[in-house]
Amino acid sequence: MSIPTETLSEAYRLMKTIREFEERVNAEIMNGQIPGFTHLYTGQEANAVGVCAHLDESDTIISTHRGHGHCIAKGAEVAGMMKELFGSSEGLCKGKGGSMHVADIDRGILGANGIVAGGPPISVGSALAAKIRKNGKVAVSFSGDGSVNQGTCFEAMNMAVVLEAPAVFVIENNYYSEHTNISYAVGCDDLKARTEAFGFPVFVADGADFFAVYEAAGKAIEHARAGNGPAGVFAEQGRYHGHFVGDPQHYRGEGELDDLRENHDCLKNFRARMAETGELDAATLDAIDAEVMAEIEQAVTEAKAAARPTAEQVTEDVYINYGAGA
């Protein structure tokens, strides 16, 4: 499979952007600058980027509580996201949603989601709209290894098959739901097989390898776009941080985190592959790194200076039009 150089450099840029965004958010939380509950995606960047590389603006994604990476990969504006996390009224959601609710409908981002498995049913609706309109669009939902145990997720998967909707279910196995390991919470030994039993193909990938995710997601999305009904992607890759910032991570085994960062790093893997194939040279990748660092720095500077919301905004945007009673 040959991937255009432009796609490659964009993929690298996005993965690096997610990595640095998250690391900076972590630092700003430690500094007390970012309020609320925040879940970092560091380590899993290749999943979001490998999937979203196949989507255009009018395809939709719906994300999870761990949503920054998905949103960036789908084209959300980084400064607008940072402002949102800081709670500015200039943020993507005017400071109303924060980390768990980052959304950008114009870019096909139907939102991060604070309810585990809140997303898949909504994604089926977006897929159904694409089917009715016959516009060739697909709707992607991201779910964690814990999320797939919710009834809403089961219902969405079955209904997508029944409706032959172009819904793509991306399951990200990072081995834990909060503090519980997948080997406990998923009752069967084979989550891929369990998912396929709903009646759609699932393509497996190493989530530390952009190329693997890109290939698996390509097959799934092509399947759905072509009108064959839903498809799935199953990607395995641990997260580098705790479930939330401040998680003591009692569930980690000896050396687990070091091994993750050392041997399961999509950025390192990407660079190694480029060194092998020569498609992008190190200087080009270094230049991207520098640009990303500058962009994140700029986003934080802007977020710190951005306007704060005011009390009268509390009741704005509850409705479009509430009628005479308002």
Ligand X SMILES: Cc1ncc(C[n+]2csc(CCOP(=O)(O)OP(=O)(O)O)c2C)c(N)n1
Q: d(Cα 261, Cα 254) in Å, to the nearest integer?
A: 14
CB nearer to ligand X: give 49 or 288. 49
The helix (H) or strand (E) run that includes residue 298 is helix 282-305
Q: How many C-beta neighbours within 10 Å does residue 180 have? A: 15
DSSP 35: -
Candidates 49-57, 75-83, 142-150, 254-262; binding stretch for Mg ion (CB under 5 A): 142-150
Distance CA 254, CA 227 (A): 46
- Nearer to another protein among residue 1 and residue 188 (C-beta): 188
68 part of the interface to ligand X, by CB under 6 A: no
Widest CA span in the chain = 67
Report, in Å, the least distance between residue 169 CB and ligand X: 13
Q: Does 114 bind ligand X (CB under 6 A)?
A: yes
DSSP 109: B
Among 232, 235, 230, 231, CA closest to 210: 235
Q: Which is nearer to another protein, 65 or 131 (CB)?
A: 65
Contact partner at residue 105 from Mg ion, ligand X, another protein, none, CB < 5 to 8 Å by partner kind: none
Q: Which stretch binds Mg ion (CB under 5 A): 5-13, 118-126, 144-152, 280-288?
A: 144-152
Q: How many CA atoms lie within 13 A of 51 on its CB side?
A: 38
Site for ligand X in 232-251 (CB under 6 A): 243
Q: Is 16 in the site for ligand X (CB under 6 A)?
A: no
CB of 248 to ligand X, least distance (A): 16
Q: Which of 289, 263, 286 is nearest to 208 (CA)?
A: 263
- State yes or no: residue 145 binds Mg ion (CB under 5 A): yes
List residues near ligand X by CB under 6 A: 64-66, 114-116, 144-147, 174, 176-178, 243
List residues near Mg ion by CB under 5 A: 144-146, 174, 177
